[in-house]
Homo-oligomer: A and B are copies of this chain.
């Protein structure tokens, strides 16, 4: 069975050596002292290692089941969820007005990674609740907030997001679910929603569904979509539970992975719903929480890779097979451990350098979200908005790839479910799809985000990288290993942007055909930038006489690996992009 230990030291390095969180001018960040975050991560790590990780294969094997309209979660999930609630983990970064602890989103992100690595399917019950909480918090009325949020903060009630219907996913304008206004101001919601994560289950008293639906007579398409609260049990004015609402589980989907999460078909049959915010402005309400939700999915990508990586390292050290070609490393044993072999190391270093880079990128993104929300900083908002599709698309693609790589270290045993490596790959696979499939992320990046506010944010990003390179030049080794590769990659990315500008005007397909490559390129440059920042922090720590020389030297070595072995991918992506739309669009649909 796979094990998991929270990478608290790596996280502390990011929070304090790289991001210098407690010194940041963001409200609440002064609380993020090293000892405090260390204690929080240790506690989260204990719960993750001792309770959540052991349940991960259980959830995979048992899955959820629907019996007589009731959804049962796998053995042990209910008890673990109680521990999660009792520990106050669900309230960490929520608003104190509704019972939250008011911690920065950055800390919530670090803790979130720990839980997601340990048990992704389990953590989604809380994750979806957090998403629904955020939507009500941002757009609900004071009455709605008072009524629903405290119980959602504590996860006594959980939440869901209902967007997809059988015939429409990305193109929500095709939606058929309707909400008919009633005299008392409520609505009757009818329709079918699919792929509803944590749609129903036996771990909470109530489920607060957020449902997108159309009010008859409203505008056509996406502009006529509104957002509703549809509770499983209606809530009386005194907060007690009332009648069962007209919402039921049609079935639980059989999926490739995340079996521990109940992905439901939800049927709404004149269910009572309450409008959130303004009529027909449902998509806007959704979009305000999308950066956060997509960052959370991007986190799932590398968090699964982290868990898979940890186990691959253990296996590579334990499994004796073959000999080091440069001389036996375990001469008294029947063979050397796998980890002596260069190709096993190539594989592990790919994983390690990706995971640590992605974690840095995600933490940085979370701090930008805090800055945007808590300081009302429009530049931070613009920058994270630009990078969100990259965090989501690039990190989930790579995260899945790295889970597959980790599985490969196990040879045949990686294919056997008993060893658990298949589950990491199968679970990670969904992150490339939900919250907007990665092709849609690429479209969002190139079609909307690049040009947002006149291209201001992407220019700001390039300036930031340029300034970093300028400010930190002069150390020969650091220049060679970090600055120069970053400059080269950044130049490739700018060349791709230039290609889009020059050719996308004539034919938007010249940009769109390269969007996926651009997203990956951008991801590499961001991770390269983060590795340069981490390398710098490590270099400084060593120069300042840090005692843990091994730790910082390892950071530098891992960074050098990323810069020399991963970053050159930008050249390939640029070549693909610069070949334009013609090779991509050449065929008639009938000739595929």
Where the two chains meet, the residues of A that have a C-beta atom closer than 8 Å to any C-beta of B are 164, 167-171, 173-174, 194-195, 253-257, 313, 316-317, 320-322, 325-326, 334-335, 337, 339-349, 352, 400, 404, 407-408, 411-412, 414-418, 422, 425-426, 429-430, 432-434, 437-439, 442-443, 447, 507-509, 512-513, 515-516, 550, 554, 557-558, 560-561, 564-565, 568-569, 571-572, 575-576, 579, 581, 583-589, 591-592
Contacts and interface: CB of A to CB of B under 8 A. Distances in A.
Contacts of A169: 321, 411-412
Contact of A513 (B320, B346, B581): B346
A576 B565 contact: yes
Q: How many copies does the complex hold?
A: 2
Nearest to A195: B412
Given A334-B174, A507-B326, A349 B583 contact: yes
Contacts of A404: 400, 429
B583 A560 contact: yes
Nearest to A352: B592
Nearest to A564: B579
A415 B429 contact: yes
B345 A554 contact: no
A443 B343 contact: yes
B586 A560 contact: yes
A583 B568 contact: no
12 contacts: A167-B320, A171-B320, A174-B320, A339-B592, A342-B512, A345-B584, A407-B429, A408-B438, A550-B588, A554-B587, A560-B583, A571-B575
A503 B430 CA distance: 42
Given A415-B430, A568-B575, A576-B565, A515 B255 contact: no
B325 A512 contact: yes
A439 B408 contact: yes
Contacts of A569: 572
Contacts of A554: 587, 591
A560 B580 CA distance: 12
A277 B47 CA distance: 58
Contacts of A322: 170-171
Nearest to A166: B413
A433 B417 contact: no
Contacts of A347: 439, 516
Nearest to A577: B565
B512 A343 contact: yes
Residue picked from A400, A414, A415, most chain B C-beta under 10 Å: A415
Nearest to A335: B171
A411 B437 contact: yes
Given A434-B412, A572-B569, A326 B509 contact: yes
Nearest to A581: B342
Contacts of A443: 341, 343
A346 B565 contact: no
A509 B325 contact: yes
B171 A321 contact: yes
Closest 3 CB pairs of A and B: A568-B575, A564-B579, A342-B512
Contact of A346 (B255, B348, B411, B516): B516
A256 B585 contact: no
Contacts of A407: 429
Contacts of A349: 583-584, 587
